[in-house]
Structures are given as structure tokens and as C-alpha cells.
Amino acid sequence: MLNLSGILSFDLAKGEFIQFENDPKVYMVVEPGVDGLGFTIFPSLRQAVSIGDEIYYGDRVTLNCYYDIDNTFGIEFKDGILVSPGTMRLVEAL
């Protein structure tokens, strides 16, 4: 986990997904800051973030991923019709 302190002028909620301007990786806020004084994300940053980089959150975050078709559980058909897609695993594609 990485604590990014003193870089925001607003608060992010716990569980919010964020992205940084020059990094396609999606991060999750695990500890929100207080009065915009930092927050903790997971996983750790893959690359350095510059002071002027934008932070995308909310509907501006785009996750590029694919279905892991080897791990599908609970798919249910009734009379040849899919009634439950079951549980699927999404794998982030970077």
C-alpha cells in the first residue's frame, strides 16, 4: 500500500477506483484522506507520478480487462437458456 499525502484538494472515498494520467493501471483507495490530506492506495504505484499529473476517478476511470474463461463457476442453463452467468474472474490487461 502506498500513502499519497498532501496532493489532493478533495476527498476520495474508501473503495474508489482511480487512475493516474500517464498510467493505465487502476488503483483502489484503501484509506481515504482527511480534508484532502492524502490517501492510501492498493497496489503500490508501478511508476513515479509527477506533481502535475491528473488523477482520474469516478466515471473517468477505464479498466481494460478480459474474462478468465478458465475460472468460471456456477454457470447455469435451463432448457438451453442461460439463467445465471455464475462467477467470472476479470483479469486486468495492461
Per-residue pLDDT of the chain in tens (94 residues, 90 and over written 9): 555 554 555 678 889 999 998 889 999 999 887 665 678 889 998 888 887 888 898 899 999 998 887 776 788 899 999 998 888 888 998 7
Q: What are the distances in angstroms from CA 21 to CA 16, 47, 62, 84?
A: 16, 12, 12, 37
Q: Verify that 78 and 56 share a domain, yes or no.
A: no
Distance CA 49, CA 28 (A): 16
Confidence (pLDDT) at 3: 54
Identity (one letter) of the amino acid at 6? Answer: G
Residue 59 dihedral angles phi and psi, to the nearest 5°: -80, 5
Confidence (pLDDT) at 8: 55
Confidence (pLDDT) at 37: 64
Provide the residue range defining the domain that includes 51.
Answer: 2-60
Q: Verify that 55 and 76 share a domain, yes or no.
A: no
CA angle centred on 10, ends 62 and 46, rounded to 5°: 45
Distance CA 10, CA 41 (A): 16
Q: Verify that 56 and 15 share a domain, yes or no.
A: yes
Q: Verify that 69 and 86 share a domain, yes or no.
A: yes
Q: Verify that 43 and 69 share a domain, yes or no.
A: no
Q: Verify that 33 and 75 share a domain, yes or no.
A: no
* CA-closest candidate to residue 41, choices 67, 64, 13: 13
Q: Verify that 27 and 68 share a domain, yes or no.
A: no
What cell numbers appear for 85 in the block? Answer: 452467468
| Domain count within the chain | 2
CA angle centred on 39, ends 23 and 56, rounded to 5°: 35
- Verdict on whether the full-model pTM lies above 0.85: no
Confidence (pLDDT) at 86: 81
Confidence (pLDDT) at 15: 92
